[in-house]
Structure 1
Amino acid sequence: MSSSVVIPIQEGGEGTAPKAVKKESFQNNLSAVSCFLRGVKVEPDVRRVVHSIKVGVALVLVSLLCLVDPLYKQAGDNAMWAIMTVIVIFEFYAGATLSKGLNRGMGTILGGGLGCIAAVLAQEIGGVGNAIAIGTAVFIFGAAATYARSVPRIKKKYDYGAMIFILTFNLVVVSGLRAGVVMRIARERLSMIVMGFAICISTSLLILPNWASDELHISMASKFEHLACSIEGLLDKYFESVTDKENKADGSFKICKSVLHSKAKDESLANFAKWEPWHGKFGLSYPWDKYLQIGELLRELAATIVSLEVCIQSSRQPTADLRQLIKEPCESVASSLTWTLRELGESLMKMTRCQSETLLLPNLKSTRLELRHCMSPSRFEHACDPGEDLAVATFVFLITEMAEKLEGLAKEVDELGELAGFKTNDL
């Protein structure tokens, strides 16, 4: 997230969002809303500073295992595993730290347990068979775990755990080949990893936690405003040939393009959010997958807006007089689309039901009917030159596509409200 400045939140009633929202102003407002919901008025850069301090505190605490003599006598050289655990698993988001920590724990327990069993069985065989049994076990479990890492479902959530399993299994089983202290090695290493994990989780969750779920929720709700601003900017650019209008359209279009490139970040945040404990309004079984479905529909809508931009930039444009014929109905439709987008975004941000079946969907259907009337042949019978009717039809068709996609988006948001238990918004 780009750096921004904190702006004061003025008291008073909520005003309607203006049609023309500049990029910098919107980002500042979004930053303020994000900080307000989190209860900590800090900028994104300050959050990174806080995270760095938290990592430093965790490293100091875990280093006490080496610096304090009584603790060092208990931990010994194995204290390095606790320090390594803090460095490896401490992430910016609490969910990411939990994910890597639990993966590391599961991988260590499984790898250590199976490594101990394989080492004991190999020692029972003895002789040359000992080395053969160890080599066979290393090959089978290493190959199987590596293949498992290529399976999409496992790679998505347990890739790090599978890697730690391979590492731990090999270290334990090979150590057992030359020494009879397999169980002691596994036990001591596991205890140090648990200690490092406990320090990480305590620091991450108790000191100004950065929740991936909050980040995903706020960023997903803000995308509705992004797209609404993009639609308004493009309509102004199409019907007006004023420089400031074009600059505004270019700025809002850049925001729209950011929605198109948000898939990887959304999936990452949703994955981390699934690992996070109950906090705020987000329960343990919160439907984060539904957020990904909404994000996919938002990207489809953004792609249609991009197509509209390409249409507007085409060299084959209708005359100004012809555009004036469709200006009023198209602006009315665009106003309906942007209003619906903002209603959905506000519903998601405030976690309230927007009653799309009784309010939003009928409005969108009437919008589509208005567009069909706009394209009546009698309207352009004496106004179109050859080729201009196709340009106008393409423009209106893309707006119709946006209305249809918005209907599906409204249904998805309504389903999310039902699954997540959003409160009903009394109108």
Structure 2
Amino acid sequence: MSSTVITIPNEDEITLNKKKTCQFAPLSIVSSIISMQSKPDMRKVIHSIKVGIALVLVSLLYLLDPLYKQVGDNALWAIMTVVVIFEFSAGATLGKGLNRGIGTILGGGLGCLAAILADEVGGIGNIIIVGISVFVFGAAATYSRLVPSIKRRYEYGAVIFILTFNLVVVSGLRADKIIKLARERLSTICMGFAICIFINLLIFPMWASDELHNSLATRFEKLACCIEECLEEYFRIVNEKENQLSANFSSCKSVLQSKSNDESLVNFSRWEPWHGKFGFSYPWDKYQQIGDATRELAVTIVSLQGCLQYPGQPSPAIRQSIKEPCEVVGSSLVWTLRQLGGSIMKMERCRPKALMASKSHSTNIELSLVTSHSILGAAENGEGLAMASFVFLLMKLVEEVEVLAKEVDELGELASFQTK
């Protein structure tokens, strides 16, 4: 019988190790902080610097006397505009800036008309006209915010319209130079908007369309890796006492949580001008449809987690009876997903022929279940049902990947992808 020798350090060695740990603790902290500085963090730093530059430029309207004499205290509106509309991506900044401009122009213009009409009537009619106009336009603008098509792109503009209209109409009760005031405020808002657009689009621009394109393309690789891990886990030979799930479904869960981010990026991408590989009238709606299809696929993959965690799993011998056809279908699905992701990333059209093969292989799985009916019938404690559930979900993956491939092919046609 062999023996194991364990070396026990003396007290001096322990003290020395503690000193070394304390001595190099600050260095380890610094190194860990540096390692955390990834590419997305650098983008945040660049964005912060750009906002600082914009604030400095717009503050010159206050700091420089010649400019202050021209705009006066209305320079505050330019600073507010920079703070409010300067967003991370160029599309978000353009969207909020144009919404603010349109809302200000419409609200200010209609507010001036209502104020002038109320002033002409005079007396008690002045208050009545102002009250009716505030109610009608405020209610109409609020209702428009609830319409999905308007809410998605113009909600901020509706809010600015309500705010501007009410301020102009109410101040018109006691302000004689309301038109001049509205013109001066609009000019300062345009100054702030111009500074934001100039800095955001010309200094290291960050495009929402690029982020949407890359995130959608890399999503296919995540789903493909999850399918691989599921198959490896299901047919892995383990001890009877081992009941730990080694497959990682975090990437699938991140795909499931991507809906709100996709909707925001699609909305911002619509506002962006032509740049790089994305031209005008690019089919961003198709990106959202493909994102929905990937989330449906992720739901099915996560459902496999229940099969893997089910305590009444079939014995390894029973699972081995369908291992070969399942692995053929799984490898076909993984290859197809990676081809589709590469097609979107490279903007090249491809028609994966493996989908037809995967559908025929799913038939082989059904045949294997029929031929192994005796094995399924002999399985106890629901083992046959558990294996049938796994096979059903795998066949469902085939159908969903086929739908996903059609969506990607339609995107290639609409976006004029190059043909391999």
Q: 1:141 aligns with which of 137, 140, 152?
A: 137
Measure the CA separation in 2 of the matches of 1:112 and 1:258: 44
Deviation per residue, 1:189-239 (Å, 9 max, x gap): 100000000000010000111111000000001111011111111111111
Q: 1:422 aligns with which of 410, 417, 420?
A: 417
Deviation at 1:242, TM superposition (A): 5.4
- In the alignment, is the contact (CA less than 8 A) between 1:287 and 1:416 conserved in 2? yes
Deviation per residue, 1:254-302 (Å, 9 max, x gap): 1111111110100110000000000111111010110111111111111
Counterparts in 2 of 1:413 and 1:327: CA distance versus 1, 3 Å: same
Aligned residues: 380
Deviation at 1:392, TM superposition (A): 1.3
2:379 alignment partner in structure 1:
385
> Do residues 326 (structure 1) and 322 (structure 2) align?
yes
> Do residues 402 (structure 1) and 400 (structure 2) align?
no
> Do residues 152 (structure 1) and 145 (structure 2) align?
no
> Do residues 370 (structure 1) and 364 (structure 2) align?
yes
Q: Percent identity?
A: 64
- In the alignment, is the contact (CA less than 8 A) between 2:322 and 2:365 conserved in 1? no
- In the alignment, is the contact (CA less than 8 A) between 2:332 and 2:355 conserved in 1? no
Letter in 2 for 1:276: E
Letter in 2 for 1:395: F
1:12-411 map, 5 Å: 43-241=39-237, 248-250=246-248, 253-356=249-352, 359-376=353-370, 378-382=371-375, 384-386=378-380, 387-411=382-406
> Do residues 413 (structure 1) and 399 (structure 2) align?
no
Task: Name which of structure 1's ranges 47-56 and 126-135 shifts more when overlaid on structure 2.
Answer: 126-135
Deviation at 1:187, TM superposition (A): 0.4
Measure the CA separation in 2 of the matches of 1:325 and 1:214: 46
1:20 alignment partner in structure 2:
none
- What SS does the corresponding residue of 1:410 show, helix, strand or coil? helix
Measure the CA separation in 1 of the matches of 2:358 and 2:410: 18
Letter in 2 for 1:390: L
Measure the CA separation in 1 of the matches of 2:139 and 2:177: 26
Letter in 2 for 1:375: L
Deviation at 1:241, TM superposition (A): 4.3
Measure the CA separation in 2 of the matches of 1:363 and 1:227: 20
- In the alignment, is the contact (CA less than 8 A) between 2:237 and 2:316 conserved in 1? no
Letter in 2 for 1:189: R
Deviation at 1:355, TM superposition (A): 2.0
Deviation at 1:245, TM superposition (A): 12
Letter in 1 for 2:413: E
Letter in 1 for 2:418: K
Counterparts in 2 of 1:312 and 1:115: CA distance versus 1, 3 Å: same
Q: What TM-score results when the alignment is normalised by the length of structure 2?
A: 0.88
Measure the CA separation in 2 of the matches of 1:241 and 1:215: 41
- In the alignment, is the contact (CA less than 8 A) between 2:228 and 2:334 conserved in 1? yes
Task: Name which of structure 1's ranges 186-195 and 232-241 shifts more when overlaid on structure 2.
Answer: 232-241
Letter in 1 for 2:334: T
Name segments (4+ residues, structure 1) moved above 4 Å.
Answer: 241-248
- What SS does the corresponding residue of 1:272 show, helix, strand or coil? helix
Deviation per residue, 1:307-349 (Å, 9 max, x gap): 1111111112111110111111111111111011001011111
- In the alignment, is the contact (CA less than 8 A) between 1:364 and 1:407 conserved in 2? no
Counterparts in 2 of 1:347 and 1:242: CA distance versus 1, 3 Å: farther
CA RMSD in angstroms, aligned pairs only:
1.7
Q: What TM-score results when the alignment is normalised by the length of structure 1?
A: 0.86
Counterparts in 2 of 1:290 and 1:395: CA distance versus 1, 3 Å: same
Q: Which runs of 5+ in 2 are unaligned?
A: 1-36
- What SS does the corresponding residue of 1:177 show, helix, strand or coil? coil
- In the alignment, is the contact (CA less than 8 A) between 2:245 and 2:309 conserved in 1? no
Measure the CA separation in 2 of the matches of 1:373 and 1:58: 67
Task: Name which of structure 1's ranges 50-59 and 130-139 shifts more when overlaid on structure 2.
Answer: 130-139
Measure the CA separation in 2 of the matches of 1:197 and 1:241: 63
